[in-house]
Structure 1
Amino acid sequence: MTERRRAGGIPLRAIPPNAVTALALCFGLSGVLFAIKGDWEKALASVVFAGVLDGMDGRIARLLRANSRFGAELDSLSDVTAFGVAPTLIMFLWSLQHAPKFGWTAALALAVCCALRLARFNSRMDADEQPHKSAGFLTGIPAPAGAGLAFVPVYLWLITGNELFRAWYLTMPWLVFIALLMISSVATYSWGSLRLRRSYRLLALAGVGLLVAALITEPWLTLLAISTIYLALIPFSMASYARVRRRRSAQG
């Protein structure tokens, strides 16, 4: 009976985090449906909410001690769908379908690079030596961040109403740039590496509350600001990792 249970199912405590992962996948694909209907705000909101759920499932799994290989594989499939396939289709329908050539190719770059990034992550999952991870950094930008950054032209269009930001000749190089960042070896900051002093924790809670309020009242302007700050931090994360690597070399 025990052997059959192990082979045929997952523990009950593993259902909540995997359900959240499946919900993130559904929201990502729902963004495509809204894009087909031309409801761009709901399309973006669906993918952004999928990113919020993606940040929750792993924490729920750790809280319930429900980490599993099944959950990791489901999470990767959900990520490549919600943050690779869905943004690809949304950006193509929004702008790149009007490109005379290579519009679909540029859009595909986002999905392909997202899949390659996740495959690279999965192949290193059991590796003993992961220099960036052991130092508290990520390699390249994660899939949810890549999807959010890919939408920067849409944020600008929604904020200003200027059709220039919808032009394929601006959207195409931007998507390719973000796709390359996803598979790059650039060291980026990881949420898990952040450590707050006790004296700053109340300020952090207040900041989170204000951020949520800003997302509710001015979502696109807030997401644009977050995207700008994230990109601006990349040179600092590269410099921080370089210092860590030099320090480790000196100690070794």
Structure 2
Amino acid sequence: MEGPFPPFEPHGPGENGDLPNNNNKRLRDIPLRVVLPNIITVLAICAGMTGVRLAYELRFDDAVYMVLLAAFLDGVDGRVARLVKGTSKFGAQMDSLADIVNFGVAPALVLYAFVLDQASSLGWIAALLYAIACGLRLARFNVMLENKDRPQWQGAYFTGVPAPAGAFLVLLPVYLGFLGIAPDFYYATVVSFYTVAVAFLLVSNLPVWSGKSLGARIPRVAVMPLILGVVFYVAMFATFTWETLTLSVLGYLFFLPFSLRMWRRQAAAHAAAARSNGD
């Protein structure tokens, strides 16, 4: 007799990947390593949705922390899955759907509750555009993963600002609000246009360096400065949270033109190499 829930098939019906199987090639027992990344993804959704609740309870500082926690968990689940060899088709789909909630819906609603509601319909339209742009950006990202003809060097770049970074950027008005800027109508109007601008960055063709080309190894002489730098940033974040987040957003925005310049240089270099090989 079957139970009330369908069997968990992380790789789809009839597919078992590297998991144990029986004579019918159907999954019997699921290793915990396959389920663990999905649990982390669900916790990320819980954090994002809790951030929305806290925002409507006017606990905006805790709401921002929850959205940032969701972003952290989103970055962890995929790495945990690869580390424990627990990747699955189910997990990939679950992670993509979670991103829409955590980086599209949750930040838009937190921002609307904090300041965009002061701009009435304009603020709501801006929140809608941001959430929809995030969904479009994630859908495009999933489609581009299937593009096998893309040059390998382009894999070091995102097309458009990634969704986690978009959530980080769009919450800048909240950070500034905690630094003393009152969320009135005029501020809300400016924030509405800023929100639309971030939405545009999500769906644009702007190449954004992902950092994947750095690799997993670093020079020996860079180990100590790296550790000290991380400790310094964490200490600053814990002590001067909103100032650190504001400067981080400004630094990221300042970096985008340099990312475009890096892309153009690499594109020109590879084009020149292709022409020389053709000759």
Short-chain TM bin: over 0.9
Q: Given the superposition, is the C-alpha separation of residues 249 and 222 from structure 1 closer, same or farther in structure 2, using an over 3 Å criterion?
A: same
Gapped regions of structure 2 (runs ≥ 5): 1-20, 275-279
Cross-structure match for 2:18:
none
Match among 88, 97, 105 for residue 125 of structure 2: 105
Q: CA RMSD in A?
A: 2.1
1:158-169 equivalent positions in 2, closer than 5 A: 158-163=178-183, 167-169=187-189
Q: What amino acid does structure 2 have at the position aligned with 1:197?
A: P
Asked if 1:213 is matched to 2:240, the reply is: no
Does the C-alpha gap of structure 1 residues 8 and 76 become closer, same or farther in structure 2, counting only changes over 3 Å? Answer: farther
User: Do structure 1's residue 54 and structure 2's residue 74 form an aligned pair?
Assistant: yes
Q: Which amino acid aligns with 2:198?
A: I
Q: 1:204 to 1:26 in 2, by over 3 A?
A: same
Whether 1:127 aligns to 2:131 is no
Is the helix fraction higher in 1 or 2?
A: 1
CA distances 1:18-48 after superposition (whole Å, capped 9, x unpaired)? 2111111110110000011001101111001
Aligned residue among 235, 253, 256 for 1:234: 256
Q: 1:183 to 1:9 in 2, by over 3 A?
A: farther
CA–CA distance in structure 2, aligned partners of residues 132 and 188 of structure 1: 15
How far is 1:163 from its partner?
A: 4.0
Instruction: State how far apart, in whole Å, the 2-side matches of 1:16 and 1:165 are.
Output: 45
Determine the C-alpha separation between the residues in 2 that align with 1:183 and 1:48. Answer: 21
How much does 1:165 deviate?
9.3
1:152 to 172, 193, 202: 172
Q: How many residues matched?
A: 252
Of 81, 95, 108, 2:101 maps to: 81
Is the CA contact (8 Å cut-off) linking 1:140 and 1:184 kept in structure 2? yes
Q: Which amino acid aligns with 1:31?
A: G
Cα offset, 1:130, TM superposition: 3.1
Give how far 1:133 is off: 6.5
- % same residue: 38
Contact map agreement 2:118 2:184 (CA 8 A) in 1: no
Structure 1 residues 39-94: Cα deviation after superposition (integer angstroms, max 9, x where no partner): 11011110011111111111111111222221111111111101100011111111
CA distance in 2, matches of 1:194, 1:203: 16
Query: What SS class does the counterpart of residue 2 from structure 1 fall into?
Result: coil
Residues 1:219 and 1:149: Cα distance change in structure 2 (over 3 Å) = same
Change (3 A) 1:100 1:56: closer
